Amino acid sequence: MRGQYFQKLNSLIAQIEQTQGEAMGEAAQAIANAMEAGKCVHLFDTGHMLDSELVNRAGGLTAFRAMRFQFDVNNEVREREEEKEKDRSLEGLMEYVLRASRLLPGDVLIVGSVSGKTVFPVDIALHAKQMGAYVIALTSITYSSLLKSEHSSGKRLFEVADLVIDNCAPPLDAMLEVPELNASICPASGIAAASIMWAIEAEVVELLLRQNLKPSVLKSINFPGSAEYNETAYQAYAETSC
């Protein structure tokens, strides 16, 4: 099955390259413009690699920063009747998250959600736009189009973002069918999102260099002098957001 996996993976990457080039180019330009203007780039992901793959990585830009929050209520008793609606009851939490964050008008917010139907990605996209941020969605349009939104607006992520990049993941995400398991394995969305965002980052660097701007890039901790170099990179980002 390893060979089948690589066939599927190669096909996925080729599909992304062939169909999402324009959207990735628009995303790179929007991010480069924001960085040139001293704005910031925020990443909000629902757990599929995006906000860990791009943050604090050797060879990566310091400009990409995760937006995370923690919210948990521990009350182990019987469930209420409306428990099944608990996600919708959290609508509006993202407005507080954004107000408590450092998001400013003109910043870029990248939201990753393969299904794009749940409350949090839709809610954060809507509120971020209201605050003047440019919202880029990374989702599976084919998959999401088959699903009903859980947000009160009735909208899915790809229907509310300023720019949508399709990660080309199949419905239900997994790429390999395994009849013996009555299930499919090897999800596409994580590796697709990482590939898309590294491609965008490469283009962002190219666009900034054309403007005679040198973005802050991190070096491996195994590179001699990297600690001092990276500290300088972080300081430069703190001062210029680029």
Q: Which structure tokens are listed for 156?
A: 């899915």
Q: How far is residue 237's CA from residue 232's CA, in Å, rounded to a whole number?
A: 9
pLDDT reading at 192 higher than 80: yes
* Full DSSP string of 16-49: HHHHSHHHHHHHHHHHHHHHHTT--EEEEESSSS
More confident of the two residues 199 and 237: 199
For the chain, domains (ranges, CATH) are: 15-240 (3.40.50.10490)
Q: What is the pLDDT of residue 72?
A: 79
Where does residue 181 rank: exposed (0-12), middle (13-18), buried (19+ CB within 10 A)? exposed
Per-residue pLDDT tens over the stretch 24-79: 999 999 999 999 999 999 999 987 777 788 898 899 999 999 999 887 788 888 87
Q: How far is residue 30's CA from residue 40's CA, in Å, rounded to a whole number?
A: 11
pLDDT reading at 85 higher than 80: no
Q: Is residue 66 helix, strand or coil?
A: strand
The conformation of residue 159, written as its DSSP 8-state character, comes to: G
CB 157 within 8 A of CB 113: yes
CB 156 within 8 A of CB 166: no
What band does 223 get if pLDDT is binned at 50, 70 and 90? confident
Average of pLDDT values for 161-190? 95
Q: What average pLDDT does the structure give for the chain?
A: 91
Q: Which structure tokens are listed for 176?
A: 């390999």
Q: What is the pLDDT of residue 161?
A: 98
Where do we find the tokens 């596409």? 188
Strand pairing category for 183-187 and 174-178: antiparallel
Q: Which structure tokens are listed for 190?
A: 């994580």
CB 113 within 8 A of CB 44: no
Average of pLDDT values for 220-229? 89
Q: What is the pLDDT of residue 15?
A: 97
Instruction: Give the end-to-end CA distance of the chain in Å, rounded to a whole number.
Output: 43
Q: Which structure tokens are listed for 4?
A: 């089948």
Report CA dihedral (139, 49, 65, 224) to the nearest 10 degrees.
Answer: -140
Q: How far is CA 178 from CA 73, 175, 191, 236, in A?
A: 38, 10, 20, 50
